[in-house]
Structure 1
Amino acid sequence: MNANADNWDDLRVFLAVARAGSLSGAARALGVNHSTVFRRIGAFERALEVRLFDRLPGGYVLTAAGEEMRESALRVEAEIAALGRKVVGQDLRLSGTVRIATIDMLAVWLLPRHLAAFRVAYPGIELEVAVSNAAVNLSRHEADVALRVGNQPPETLVGRRVGRLVFASYGAIGIRDRDKDMPLAERDWIGFESDHAALASRFARFLPKVRPVFRVNSVAAAVAAAKAGIGLAPLPCGIADLEPDLVRVAQLPDAFSLDLWLLTHEDLRHTARIRALLDFLAEALAADAPLLEGRQVE
């Protein structure tokens, strides 16, 4: 390699292709088109006078030189991300943008009313919500704050447990009385795909002989399917109890419960606007405990 790889933007494109294994996947991650990624990778290889990827029918595979470049690029990425977090962490202004990463069910049912109240309290802070079932990387500054479900948060993040999601089985209005004498194992069920592996595995342990008649990769889609009468769905009480077209059919074992975590990166925890959001949401979600734990309708 006889060229200086000092352009971070080139390294960023290179890492996106290395992670995705394809131009189209990298283009989606970067928010650009396929041809831009193709052109940038070609120009980067020509500048370095080395081939970084083998173009195979199944996608782009790193060469030996590409593997070496990836290790160096990851170190550069980590340093740039750390620098960015430290700079943001010194910001004492109650203004600017806070990016929140969460999953669909929390973004649709739980967060909107709290974020609306936060905007009234802090009009100088702009909010962005990134909705995905895939965990974002706060260390790479893909988001500032994450609201996640799970019983063990990553050790690299700081934050607090702000609630507990209790689950029950729900169905369309009328289904409880219509099938009230039918065992749960004989009813039609809506299940979850691998994007919600925790729920899928819990359901398999609860009713091991039941094969769901309908599977989704989204809690929002499961709510819609249950409302349409396709079957019963294991849903968080804090969501389903808000839906007038759903009725609670039966409680589910405590093993279905998931903790709710509000997290950020250690370097960002003292940033004024992020601290304001963390404190505000922690208090708001604590007040939601009766709803989240399924006690509000009891």
Structure 2
Amino acid sequence: MDWDDLRVFLAVARAESLSGAGRVLKCDAATVGRRIARLEEGLGAKLFIKSPQGYALTDAGGRLMPHAEQAEQAMAAASEDLGGVAGQLTGQLRIGAPDGSANYLLPQVCAAICDANPGLEIHIVALPRVFNLSRREADMAIGVSPPSAGRLTVQKLTDYHLHLAAHRDYLAAHPPIRSRGDLRGHRMIGYIPDMIFDKELDYLSVTGMDSVGLGSNSVSVQMQMVRAGAGLGIVHDFAIPACPGVVKVLPDDIALTRSFWLIRHADDRRSDRLNRLAEALAQGIRREVARLETLA
């Protein structure tokens, strides 16, 4: 068994399909299938069961998984040690994040980390849902609540704040808002109720309103609706500086505090490289949230 065989095994286990693994490995599904068959023959054990849902690990495949992941971490560490500049981080890092942080925080935070580590490549995966780190959809993920299950480590990054807001043009064209009672008759912008993937994103109740006139599963789309003067919405304070003309409404009355959490696979604690990347990411996010909120 060699590392290249384990790399193919990990790709199939995470993608749960030969075609998905092929896209990651940049080869065709038939080649991936042959490599898995060769590995199974060499080990004398069946590693996957094919079903209508895809490729699932057998008991033997499940036992191989942690060994393959340890080999992956060892190869990354060796590459870092031998191929990079002393003290610098190299290789690739994939970060999963909800689209609010992915759009308004991570671009500048990750750019600064890459500037300090020229051999490092960072991919930001922005999805409005919880990431599955067990399938290695990402190396680490940012969440809006700590997970309660799985072999994961969780670190609180920072609190952040949200307020009701609207564009000045919208406020100038509609009746004044001096209290929550004045919100009746105004159009609310927010999440599509049945697509809220985390209870921490259920903001509507704080306004006293019971429905949204314009909704999206993307907080960035919601922010663009607010910026376009389409109505009122609960927005991240750290996003307001990116949207000229958007101002807080009833800031002393309608205010929320939420938290960002850094979520990692438990086995990654043994990786000095990932520990250093996690710390750089945590420090950068804390600084950027604090900086942008002072501008809001």
TM-score normalised by structure 1 residue count: 0.69
Shift in CA distance, 104/10, structure 1 to aligned 2, threshold 3 Å: same
Aligned equivalents of 2:204 and 2:272: distance in 1? 44
Q: Deviations over 1:74-111 (max 9, x none)?
A: 55445533543465467763322222221222122101
Where does 1:1-298 land on structure 2 (aligned, <5 Å)? 31=23, 53=51, 60=52, 73-77=61-65, 79-85=67-73, 88=76, 93=81, 94-152=89-147, 156-177=151-172, 178-181=174-177, 183-193=182-192, 194-198=194-198, 202-207=202-207, 209-251=209-251, 253=254, 256-291=256-291, 294-297=293-296
Aligned equivalents of 2:14 and 2:125: distance in 1? 21
Paired residue secondary structure (1:166): strand
Answer whether contact 2:145 2:200 (CA < 8 A) is retained: no
Q: Which residue of 2 aligns with 1:22?
A: none
Q: Deviations over 1:142-192 (max 9, x none)?
A: 322222222557563225212112111122223334332472243111121
Answer whether contact 1:100 1:128 (CA < 8 A) is retained: yes
Q: Which residue of 2 aligns with 1:3?
A: none
Shift in CA distance, 30/253, structure 1 to aligned 2, threshold 3 Å: farther
Q: Which residue of 2 aligns with 1:57?
A: none
Shift in CA distance, 98/200, structure 1 to aligned 2, threshold 3 Å: closer
Shift in CA distance, 204/219, structure 1 to aligned 2, threshold 3 Å: closer
Aligned equivalents of 1:278 and 1:111: distance in 2? 13
Shift of 1:203: 3.0
| Number of equivalenced pairs | 266
Aligned equivalents of 1:166 and 1:129: distance in 2? 23
Q: Which runs of 5+ in 1 are unaligned?
A: 1-5, 19-25, 54-59
Answer whether contact 1:191 1:233 (CA < 8 A) is retained: yes
Work out the percentage of aligned pairs sharing the same amino acid. Answer: 21
Aligned equivalents of 1:7 and 1:277: distance in 2? 24
Paired residue secondary structure (2:203): helix
Answer whether contact 1:104 1:218 (CA < 8 A) is retained: yes
Shift in CA distance, 14/269, structure 1 to aligned 2, threshold 3 Å: closer
Shift of 1:212: 0.7
Aligned equivalents of 2:71 and 2:134: distance in 1? 11
Paired residue secondary structure (1:97): strand
Paired residue secondary structure (2:250): strand
Answer whether contact 2:6 2:68 (CA < 8 A) is retained: no
Letter in 1 for 2:94: R
Paired residue secondary structure (1:143): coil
Aligned equivalents of 1:135 and 1:150: distance in 2? 10
Aligned equivalents of 2:140 and 2:16: distance in 1? 26
Letter in 2 for 1:206: V
